[in-house]
Chains A and B, each alone.
Chain A
Amino acid sequence: MESTPDLSLRITLHSARFDALARLEVWHDELAQRDSSNAAESLFVGRVRPTAGDGVALEALELEHYPGMTERQLEQLADHCCRRHGVSSCLIEHRIGRVLPGEAIVLVAVGADRRGPAQRCCHELLESLKHDAPFWKREWRTDGRRQWLNGNTPL
């Protein structure tokens, strides 16, 4: 595995609503202060849908996680992915707890010298955290039902 000694990695779990664009701006400021701004950047913001899989309106989405393992797993996934693609910076912000429709669940941003590594790494990291970081979603529906989701939506 090729080493990327100056990789900048920031991971945060939020138990309350976060503003994805504001967090992105803070990250940009931090990178600029370290003279580590990127020529290319790829980002993804995932938000809660207004409806459940069967069309019933959603009251909220609950996100449970495995404290300790989640943080370690996110760091390991991000570190491996970033080093494999040779990118220079990575930001992950992820919600836990009760998330309302329209609110951000996840923000992944990857900075690199070129668009290819930035886009590929962002895509791969998002998919890996969706499948290999211990989070679980439960829909709280307006018809009163609550249902744990059995995996992820199709790509």
Chain B
Amino acid sequence: MADPSSNAASPIRVRLFAALREQAGWAERDWPSQQAAIPPGSRTASPQTPRAIWMALALDGSFDSVRTAVNQHFADPDTVLQPGDELAFLPPISGG
């Protein structure tokens, strides 16, 4: 897990895979972490979560069919993200 004290301005790395990646036309993108995005003196914004970032990215498809991983572990879509986290949106899995 990222250490907010050491990299407060580090962005969140957003990753897409398979069909999601091809629909969006990109595989990785840095997303400003809250500490970096909020101007000094501003009121605190809502916590940054996978769900909030998905909505802000306005990607095609239903969020209900997407799973989220934070730092390469499955995570709840309402997990509060930290600077430097790696967030991945995963389309329906088909292994084996």
Contacts A66-B72, A69-B69, A138-B18 hold; do A130 and B95 have CB atoms under 8 A apart? yes
How far, in whole Å, are A103 and B73 apart by their CA atoms in the complex?
30
Interface size for B (C-beta < 8 A) is 17
Contacts of B94 in A (CB 8 A): 130, 135-137, 149-152
How far, in whole Å, are A8 and B19 apart by their CA atoms in the complex?
36
Query: What's the interface size class on A, roughly?
Result: 20 to 34
Contacts A72-B72, A148-B19 hold; do A136 and B96 have CB atoms under 8 A apart? no
Indicate if the CB atoms of A69 and B95 lie closer than 8 Å.
no
Find the B residue at minimum CB distance from A72.
B72
CB distance from A129 to the nearest CB of B (A): 5
B-to-A contact residues, CB < 8 Å: 15, 17-19, 22, 69, 72-74, 88, 90-96
22 A-B contacts (beta carbon < 8 Å)? A63-B95, A68-B72, A69-B69, A72-B72, A94-B95, A94-B96, A106-B95, A130-B93, A131-B93, A133-B95, A133-B96, A134-B17, A134-B69, A135-B94, A136-B19, A136-B93, A136-B94, A148-B22, A150-B91, A150-B92, A150-B94, A152-B94
